[in-house]
Amino acid sequence: MERFDNSPETALKWHRNGSGAALATVVETWGSAPRRVGSQLVIGGDGRIEGSVSGGCVEGAVIVEALEAIDEGEARLLEFGVSDEDAFAVGLACGGTIRVLVEPVGKVLPEPMLAELVAARAAREPIAYEVNIDTGHRALRRNAYAERLRMDRSGFEEDGQTFVAVHNPPLRLIVVGAVHIAQALVPMARIAGYDPAIIDPRDAFASSARFPGETILADWPDEAVAKLGLDARTAIVLLTHDPKLDDPALQAALDAGVFYIGALGSTRTHAKRVERMKAAGFSQQQISRIHGPIGLDIGAAGPSEIAVAILAQMTAVLRGKA
């Protein structure tokens, strides 16, 4: 599964430490390529590496090219064919071809630009890095490439020259209500790439024994979501059935730009919820963002299947398929 890649942060740190660094980015693939477009490997001038562009197939060759690129201060665009045998070794059925852009930090990828990118990532600000392969022009773009950002899809534009690397904050899931459905949903969401947090002020529910290793906040939900923060890469799921617990978090979510709001309950329960939100002053447009009853209608029975339905609906909304 894809986890949050810290290659830009590592490249900046190694460059500032004086060892030099280069970022290698998968810019194009054909066939059964081992890593998706946008995957990165950072190479230090002392030979250290972090990340991956091929799962091990071509890393050795990329490292050699990157070290030469650091010495020369020039970018390199590399192309590799991954053989069927090498692909099978990293868990794929057949081979493919990948192109990798190597950019030394400093002379090619300006340190201030990399620092700005790292700062945007730290602030959970979606941002796109744009480079023209032919001219070498580089820029950071905010409020651009909305479709690419929504789909987490790096790649070349139609001109075949402009490569856009998407840098989205990690996905987050905030679950209000440490109930049985949450026990199934949280590990599923983690597998899907979300960083989950559970909110429940009831000690009997919000225990580490029920959610081992997970972030649990025993605060009142409106205080807890204020601590966690809400943004466009956050989904919030309300599972308590109790308006005293669900509604404060729901109102905070309606005021924020979260990409998904789901609330457990029957059609009748949801109708009452809608009336409470209207009474609280929320518009019909805001209220229509609430998915209730929660989850895709797949005939789910039991907590685990309901969790599958919820995660499927979250994915559909995130990817614009709702």
Cα gap 10→24, rounded to integer Å: 12
Same domain, 61 and 205: no
Q: Are residues 188 and 138 in the same domain?
A: no
Return per-residue pLDDT of the chain as tens, 322 residues.
344 578 999 999 999 999 999 999 999 988 766 678 999 999 999 999 999 887 777 888 899 999 999 999 999 999 887 665 655 554 444 567 889 999 999 999 999 999 999 999 999 999 999 999 999 999 999 999 999 998 899 999 999 999 999 999 989 999 999 999 999 999 999 999 999 999 999 988 989 999 999 999 999 999 999 999 999 899 999 999 899 999 999 999 999 989 999 999 999 999 999 999 999 999 999 999 999 999 999 999 999 999 999 999 999 999 988 6
Residues 210 and 143 in one domain: no
Supply φ then ψ for residue 271, to 5 degrees: -60, -40
Q: Which one of 167, 194, 218 terminates a domain?
A: 167
- The verdict on residue 21 lying in a domain is yes
- What are the C-alpha distances in Å from 313 to residues 129, 153, 279? 29, 20, 27
3-state SS track over 110-139: CHHHHHHHHHHHHCCCCEEEEEECCCCCEE
pLDDT of residue 95: 62
β 76-82/96-104 pair status: antiparallel
CATH of the domain at 225: 3.40.50.720
How much is the pTM? Answer: 0.80
Residues 224 and 133 in one domain: no
Q: What are phi and psi of 212, to 5 degrees?
A: -60, 130
Residues 6+ apart with CB under 8 A from 231: 124, 169, 256, 257, 258
Tell me the backbone φ, ψ of residue 254, rounded to 5 degrees.
-65, -30
Neighbours of 205 (CB within 10 A): 19
| 2: in domain | no
Asked whether residue 147 falls in the same domain as residue 257, the answer is: no
pLDDT at position 4, please?
55
Distance in angstroms (rounded) separating the CA atoms of residues 70 and 22: 7
In a domain, 1, yes or no: no
Q: Are residues 33 and 118 in the same domain?
A: yes
pLDDT score for 3: 46
At residue 236, the pLDDT reads 98
Q: What is the pLDDT of residue 238?
A: 97
pLDDT at 21: 97
108 and 230 part of one domain: no
Domain count, the chain: 2
Q: What is the per-residue pLDDT for 92?
A: 47
Residue 226 lies in domain: 171-318
Q: Tell whether 125 and 205 lie within a shared domain.
A: no
Tell me how far apart the alpha carbons of residues 289 and 186 are, in angstroms, rounded to a whole number: 22
Of 137, 167, 197, the last residue of a domain is: 167
Q: Given this model, what pLDDT does residue 89 score?
A: 53
Within 10 angstroms of residue 136's Cβ, the number of other Cβ atoms is 11
Q: Which of 212-216's residues contact partners 24+ apart within 8 Å by CB, and which partners?
A: 214/186, 216/178
Residues 73 and 196 in one domain: no
Look at residue 123 and tell me if it is in a domain. Answer: yes
pLDDT at residue number 54:
79
Boundary residue ending a domain (118, 136, 167): 167
88, 178: one domain: no
Detail the DSSP E strand segments found in 18-170: 21-31, 40-44, 49-51, 76-82, 96-104, 127-132, 138-141, 155-156, 162-167
* Same domain for 177 and 154: no
